[in-house]
Amino acid sequence: MSETIYRVLSKGIEVVAPLLIRLLVPGSPEERRERLGKSAPLPGQDSEGGWIWIHAASAGEMGGAAPVVREIQQRRPGRPIVLTAMTRAGRARAGRIAHIDARFAPLDLPGALHRFFSAYRPGLLILMETEIWPNLLYEAEVHNCPAAVLNGRISRRGASRMRFARPLYRSGFGRLALCGVQKEIDRERFLSFGARPETLFVHGNTKVDAVPPGKGELPLKKNSGDRWVVFGSVRPQEEEAVGQAIRTLLDTRTDTRIALVPRHPKRAGTISIGPERSWHKWSSRRDPQNARAIEVDTIGDLIAFYRIADVAFVGGSLSHHGGHNPLEPAQFGVPVLFGPHLDNCREHADLLLDAGGAAVVTSGDDLARQIKDLLDSDSAREKRGKRAAQAVRSARGATRRAVDRLEASGLLGPGPGLKAGGGSSQ
């Protein structure tokens, strides 16, 4: 499909778009207005260079956008930012980022985009990953707004799907002023879809910089000889497998202590560890002394428990929830295990798997076996933990590298205290 045909079809769809939006988004006038581009910027926000518009499709992409927002805010304090998302989960996550205007993205329709550009008059458009929308990039060019991609990636499956609309993508990629991608393979794929070689650079994955560094006190004293296994963010559908692994470990290893952290604290008490044993509830705040099994039925303590772990299992991955962030325990040099369902954190999981700092488990039996293997060998456990920590350290800094390039290219505009010509402000 060519760009001309796409724009003609888009204009046709726009005639019935208000009706379609009303049918698809009932009961939410604000969302309908935003998706039709009927947004107005917050009053009183203006600066030299105009707004920066950052767009991320969903909550996953928003995880990479958040560090970019913070880095830009540090370098250009006061420069207004509008952050848009396609999905409701992404919009909710955007709304939790401080000092930005969060919106649903306008649909890729000429009129909706024209209204949005006219309202905000952005001086820079940043697209996260592969949000290459033909009308969006066309309107950005019409409104003299340079566009850049950060965290760019094209999977093998994505490349296969995109080839059916290669002419359309070539026009979009060709309009990009800068393309920051995660890996060399992404650079090659961007080139194949029409990105200009001089615009491309590899900066890594900004999502790694979103991993909160573990700080603060250890949750409890770790006795010499204890081997702590932490089961983090466990979802209801994987409780049976996790419970099976926990019971096996408690039955076969006297040195093993367990910390179970359900994703939702209200699930505490649902996993049985046998009639002769009971959970020590963390919310009691009583000294656990030598309690072999602690159930963390509170919010916000998972990172602290990862700090004392010898082995960590990251949940949401044996069930179809897409997994949770495996870099949180890995940063402490903890070998990580997770299930095969990792749609929400595939890049993080691949980073650890490629480095030899993690492994995939498929069942309760497999989980127990792999944990026991790691606990049986101090050298193997320490080796894998070091690789996990090194993978996190080496991957950090992607956001700084990306924004450095934006700055060097002049796309961020003059720095604080500088006029557009580069002289000091008086």
DSSP string, 120-149: H--SEEEEETT---HHHHHHHHHTT--EEE
What's the chain's Rg over C-alpha atoms? 24
d(CA 105, CA 116) in angstroms, rounded, equals 9
Question: Cα 106 vs. chain centroid, distance in angstroms?
Answer: 22
DSSP H helical segments within 151-253, as ranges? 156-162, 166-174, 184-192, 239-252
* C-alpha of 79 from chain center: 24
155 burial level (CB within 10 Å; 0-12, 13-18, 19+)? middle
Instruction: Give the three-class secondary structure for 103.
Output: strand
**59-92 burial, b for 16+ CB within 10 Å, e for fewer?**
bbbbbbbbbbbbbbbebbeebbbbbbbbbeebbe
Q: Under DSSP, is residue 294 helix (H, G, I), strand (E, B) or coil?
A: strand
DSSP states of 256-285: EEEEEEESSGGGTT-S---TT--PEEGGG-
Catalytic pick from 34, 61, 71, 239?
61
Find tokens 């046709």 and name the residue.
12
How far apart CA 108 and CA 168 sit, in angstroms, is: 14
Is the Cβ–Cβ distance between 280 and 294 less than 8 Å? Answer: yes
Does the annotation mark 238 as catalytic?
no
Q: How far apart are CA 261 and CA 17, in angstroms?
A: 45
Amino acid letter, residue 62: M
| Cα 31 to the center of its chain, rounded Å | 23
Whole-angstrom distance, CA of residue 281 vs CA of residue 269: 9
Please identify every residue annotated as catalytic: 61
